[in-house]
Amino acid sequence: MNLILLGPPGAGKGTQAVRIAERKNLLHLSSGDILREERKAKTELGLQAQDYMDRGALVPDDLILAMMMSHIEKAGAYAGFLLDGFPRTVAQAEGLDDLLKSKKTPLEHVVKIDVPRDALLDRLTGRLYCPKCGRTYHTKFSPPKEPGVCDNSGEPLIRRADDTVEVVSERLEIYERQTAPVVDHYERQGLVRTVSGVGNINQISERIIEACRE
Ligand code: AP5
């Protein structure tokens, strides 16, 4: 199963992607997590990306496409891939279409997660993140068992630099301007299913899995 999760910042793409990838044995590829790893390792790509990320702007398409293509190549060892945070522009979606066509690998599902704007702001400004395994938590909605420590890796949790009110507002605007057209791109291919991202995290996982059966 090859699947894309789409939705605005804070919709719960990362939260759901980790769970669904585990259940379905999919290679989970989060462009945001990969970029944060590149930054941590101070690679050329990480250094090029950091200013865009801190401002809430999108990293240029050519850098993202090259990065994601090399990761998608590794999906052969899994039952498919689950993309989270990519593609984020129509140019990225077209680049992905070309790659999948050349590999004769069909994209089967595009699930869009809908959450009202006010809730997105609450979620992002209370988010905690594990820099080691990428798992996300929320101070109120999804706290770790031990405050400030990742349940999975035992590492101290941090807040993302781009989760301030100002940067989140910029990211939401960029989503509307540059990423919402990606939904139309996949609508034209008849692939989009929309699920509500409001409610209990497990219920939302079930909605996504159900949407992939349609
Ligand atoms: P990225 O890391 O991809 O950020 P994003 O898309 O803005 O998405 P988020 O990670 O903020 O949100 P999410 O939907 O994954 O929500 P989450 O599950 O964490 O990108 C960061 C930056 O990298 C970009 O701004 C850009 O600069 C660059 N970049 C990345 N990809 C790029 C690309 N393709 N092209 C160009 N640039 C790119 O949940 C949020 C919070 O809500 C958490 O605290 C969680 O615990 C909580 N939560 C989740 N579900 C629920 C629920 N049901 N109820 C209550 N709380 C919930």
pLDDT in tens, 70-127: 999 998 899 999 999 999 999 999 999 999 999 999 999 999 999 999 999 999 999 9
Residue 75 lies in a domain: yes
Residue 159 lies in a domain: no
CA distance 112 to 152: 27
Measured in Å, residue 11 CA sits from the centre of ligand 1 at 7
Per-residue pLDDT, 135:
84
Which of 138, 168, 169 has most ligand 1 atoms within 8 Å of CB, for mutation?
Answer: 138
Rg (CA), the chain: 16
Residues near ligand 1 (Cβ within 6 A): 7, 9-15, 31-32, 35, 52-53, 56-59, 64, 85-86, 88, 92, 123-124, 127, 136-138, 141-142, 162, 171, 199, 201, 204
CA distance 207 to 16: 11
User: Of all residues in the chain, what percent carry a pLDDT higher than 90?
Assistant: 92
Residue 185 lies in a domain: yes
CA distance 201 to 75: 26
Q: Quick check: is 88 catalytic?
A: yes
Terminal alpha carbon distance of the chain = 13
CA distance 60 to 52: 9
Residue 120 lies in a domain: no
Measured in Å, residue 188 CA sits from the centre of ligand 1 at 25
Per-residue pLDDT, 214:
74
Full domain range(s) for residue 182: 3-115+176-211
Shortest-distance atom of ligand 1 to CA 113: 14
Cβ atoms of 83 and 4 within 8 Å: the answer is yes
CA distance 208 to 194: 9
Residue 207 lies in a domain: yes
Cβ atoms of 21 and 28 within 8 Å: the answer is yes
Q: Quick check: is 188 catalytic?
A: no
Sequence-distant (≥ 6) Cβ neighbours of residue 73 within 8 angstroms: none
**What is the mean predicted confidence (pLDDT) over 43-51?**
96
Q: What is the CATH number of the domain that holds 27?
A: 3.40.50.300
Which residue among 36, 123, 135, 160 is the active-site one? 160
Q: Ligand 1, atom 41: nearest CA belongs to which residue? A: 123
41: pLDDT strictly greater than 80:
yes
Does 134 or 199 have the greater pLDDT score?
Answer: 199
Q: How far is CA 63 from the centre of its chain?
A: 17
Burial class (CB in 10 A: 0-12, 13-18, 19+), 93: buried
What is the length of the chain? 214
Per-residue pLDDT, 133:
84
Q: Which residues of 31-44 are buried (b: 16+ CB within 10 A; e: fewer)?
A: bbbbbbebbeeeee
Confidence of residue 131 (pLDDT cuts 50, 70, 90): confident
Cβ atoms of 27 and 46 within 8 Å: the answer is no
Residue 133 lies in a domain: no
Q: What is the mean pLDDT of the chain?
A: 95
**How many domains does the structure of the chain reveal?**
1
**Taking the model in full, what pTM does it have?**
0.94
> Phi and psi for 136 in degrees, rounded to 5?
-110, 150
Residue 136 lies in a domain: no
Q: What angle do CA 76, 82, 88 make, to 5 degrees?
A: 120
Per-residue pLDDT, 191:
97
Residue 53 lies in a domain: yes
Q: Quick check: is 127 catalytic?
A: yes
Q: Quick check: is 104 catalytic?
A: no
Measured in Å, residue 110 CA sits from the centre of ligand 1 at 17
Confidence of residue 24 (pLDDT cuts 50, 70, 90): very high
